[in-house]
Homo-oligomer: A and B are copies of this chain.
Amino acid sequence: MAHTNTEHEVLAVVFQVRQGEAPGARRKPALHVLLWQRALDPERGKWSLPGGRLGADEDLTSSVRRQLAEKVDLRQVAHLEQLAVFSAPDRVPGPRTIASTFLGLVPSPATPELPPDTRWHPVSDLPPMAFDHGPMVEHAHNRLVAKLSYTNIGFALAPGEFALSTLRDIYSAALGHPVDATNLQRVLERRHVITRTGTTARSGRSGGRPAALYRFADSRYRVTDEFAALRPPG
């Protein structure tokens, strides 16, 4: 059995919940993914996940962090975890390259500076994707949905302090279905995932009761309830 040298690359699927950019319309926040547009062949003009070749003395995680630093302020990336490996021999042209994919999460209010070729795209409406990067996004999204149920991973999408309605919007965007703020509160409080700060937000210009502010109890990834579920309505 011949062993040619294989390249190894890492690719990151970085998500953030952001307001849509429709100016007039009522903009609901939606889940977005960070992509850059290829200026050169192959697959010129199509959109790619950030990443690149693995360095000699790096493990995968260090490599992702290094490569992401070229696109976003790393301090904004609150969570990073390994996903699947894509290894089809012909998945990219040129030397045989194995790709390890990662899931990255950026909290909501942050708006990192982006290079000119790089943009946030709504996950529900992806542009033409290079190579096998489309399925990678899908895979990452599935993982995110699953982990929102049974871990505290929401901390990596939410601001430091937030009203419950804000958190509901974030969960709703990430899960892809409506979420009841009432129940979200009880579920997350019972598991001690979120706690009240004691302070309240000010009401908007149209009035309304001021919202109590919450924060995530832990800002480190934790499995909170192995058997929990946030089910879609109906």
Contacts and interface: CB of A to CB of B under 8 A. Distances in A.
A65 to B, nearest CB: 13
A98 B84 CA distance: 14
Report the copy number of this chain in the oligomer: 2
Contact of A6 (B54, B89, B226, B229): B54
A89 B59 contact: yes
14 contacts: A1-B55, A2-B56, A6-B54, A8-B98, A54-B98, A56-B96, A57-B89, A58-B89, A59-B89, A60-B85, A82-B85, A85-B100, A227-B229, A227-B231
A209 B7 CA distance: 61
Contacts of A2: 55-56
Contacts of A57: 89
Given A3-B54, A3-B55, A59-B88, 4 more contacts: A3-B53, A3-B56, A8-B8, A8-B98
Interface string A1-33: 111111110000000000000000000000000
Interface string A85-100: 1011100000010101
A204 to B, nearest CB: 35
Nearest to A8: B6
Please classify how large the interface on chain A is, using the bins under 10, 10 to 19, 20 to 34, 35 or more: 20 to 34
**In the complex, the 7 A-B pairs of residues with the closest C-beta atoms, listed nearest first:** A227-B229, A4-B56, A60-B87, A59-B87, A5-B5, A1-B55, A2-B56
Contacts of A227: 149, 229, 231
Nearest to A230: B227
Interface string A47-86: 0000001111111110000000000000000000010110
Contacts of A231: 227
A82 B99 CA distance: 13
